[in-house]
Structure 1
Amino acid sequence: MKINGNEIRPGNVIEHKGGLWAAVKVQSVKPGKGGAYAQVELKNLIDGTKLNERFRSSESVERVRVDTKDFQFLFQSDDMLTFMDNETYEQIELSAEFVGERAAFLQDGMAVTLELYEDKPIGINLPEQVTLEVTETEPTIKGQTAASSYKPALLENGVRTMVPPFVGVGEKIVVDTNEVTYVKRAES
């Protein structure tokens, strides 16, 4: 479906320069001279590279329809991840490289959403937050206030993050899977 350059919105997937790109940020610019245009930050869905492009309203781009399907993470074998389609129960394998660093957050039975283009996986969405146990961190120093700086912690999945001083070993915390940051203590 063709759309004008000024109709691109964040989240849209477009065909551009022979690849599939997702619009990450879109800013409308109206310079003093010349016509208005949209400054768009694009992310390549295949290799993850980023690109900044200007699209004028007179230009048209091909907007791509991406299908999403719910899957369940089953297990990891070497560097391959196995997922099951929630509707058909068919299993597919994806390389851990496809998921990237966030593969460390996958837990058995976790619900994920795969983005498909012509039945080929091009992206994966994990839950925004996961609960993990702190396996290693520095002890709290007496008199240290909660407003002070965060301290490093190692989580059960091997990921390192910064936590507030009151968090200790054995506690469960909620972590943001996109930013790999501490959100809050998990409610027991």
Structure 2
Amino acid sequence: MKLCHSNNFRSGLKIIFENEPYLIESSEFVKPGKGQAFVRVKLRKLLTRQLIEKTFKSTDTLEIADVLEHTASYLYNDKNFWYFFKKNTFEEICIEKSIVGIHKKWLLEQDTCVVIFWNDQPISVIPNKFVNIKVIDTSVALKGSTVNASTKLAILSTSAVIKVPLFIKIGSLIKVDTRSGEYVSRIKE
């Protein structure tokens, strides 16, 4: 069990707080004119991706989390479980639908992603930052309705629904930012 003092907190460090793993997104050491120094920290809960802010005394210590990240390829799903294999060991990983969560709409077969493990159990799946996905359906822009609206809704091959520019047609291949779920560009085939 490794401990870390709060005045050594840095971005990217993974710690155990309230018996759960957290990722430190930012930390600021504050030494006021009066009183004890403290550290203001933004923490991302690795299990739910929730962001919280917390203040620690400069004398506080927390345990460093035993969190590992593995590169894996997405294979397939059976609606309840999602199957991946680790690139380095070729070991198959079975992950519950609830752990994959909202990221399922950005997973394409044979795509690589990062699977995060805590205590040898998968806790999160992070897809690539950008994915190329085919548009399977899109709403038709009516003449005259383009004055105020410059986007329309499109359904992608992974069943995700996003806003796209009016020139995107059914069958187009587009690049999507998985962090925000926004259209980035059209891919020429």
Answering whether residue 64 of structure 2 is matched by residue 92 of structure 1, we say no
Alpha-carbon separation, structure 1, partners of 2:120 and 2:45? 18
Alpha-carbon separation, structure 2, partners of 1:149 and 1:81? 36
Tell me the TM-score normalized by structure 2. 0.84
Per the alignment, residue 183 of structure 2 pairs with 182
Is the partner of 2:132 in helix, strand or coil? strand
Q: Is the 8 A contact 2:66 2:119 kept in 1?
A: no
Q: Could you tell me how far 1:25 is from its partner in structure 2?
A: 3.8
Q: Could you tell me how far 1:139 is from its partner in structure 2?
A: 3.2
Q: Could you tell me how far 1:166 is from its partner in structure 2?
A: 2.3
Gaps of 5+ in 1: none
Q: Percent identity?
A: 26
Alpha-carbon separation, structure 2, partners of 1:139 and 1:49? 37
Is the partner of 2:98 in helix, strand or coil? helix
Alpha-carbon separation, structure 2, partners of 1:9 and 1:150? 40
Per the alignment, residue 131 of structure 1 pairs with 132
Alpha-carbon separation, structure 1, partners of 2:12 and 2:160? 28
Q: Is the 8 A contact 1:140 1:166 kept in 2?
A: no
Aligned residue-pair number: 187
4+ runs of 1 displaced by more than 6 Å?
Answer: none
Q: Could you tell me how far 1:15 is from its partner in structure 2?
A: 1.0
Answering whether residue 47 of structure 2 is matched by residue 46 of structure 1, we say yes
Per the alignment, residue 7 of structure 2 pairs with 6
Q: Deviations over 1:44-103 (max 9, x none)?
A: 323444432102322222222422222211110121001112233221210121011111
Per the alignment, residue 75 of structure 1 pairs with 76
Alpha-carbon separation, structure 2, partners of 1:115 and 1:130? 20
Q: Is the 8 A contact 1:65 1:117 kept in 2?
A: yes
Alpha-carbon separation, structure 2, partners of 1:120 and 1:138? 42
Residues 138, 63 of structure 1: alpha-carbon distance in 2 compared, 3 angstrom cutoff: same
Per the alignment, residue 162 of structure 1 pairs with 163
Q: Could you tell me how far 1:135 is from its partner in structure 2?
A: 2.1
Residues 10, 149 of structure 1: alpha-carbon distance in 2 compared, 3 angstrom cutoff: farther
* Partner AA of 1:100 in structure 2: G
* Partner AA of 1:87 in structure 2: N
Alpha-carbon separation, structure 2, partners of 1:39 and 1:50? 13
Report 1:52-63 matches (<5 A). Answer: 52-63=53-64
Is the partner of 1:100 in helix, strand or coil? helix
* Partner AA of 1:94 in structure 2: I
Alpha-carbon separation, structure 2, partners of 1:138 and 1:38? 50
Gaps of 5+ in 2: none
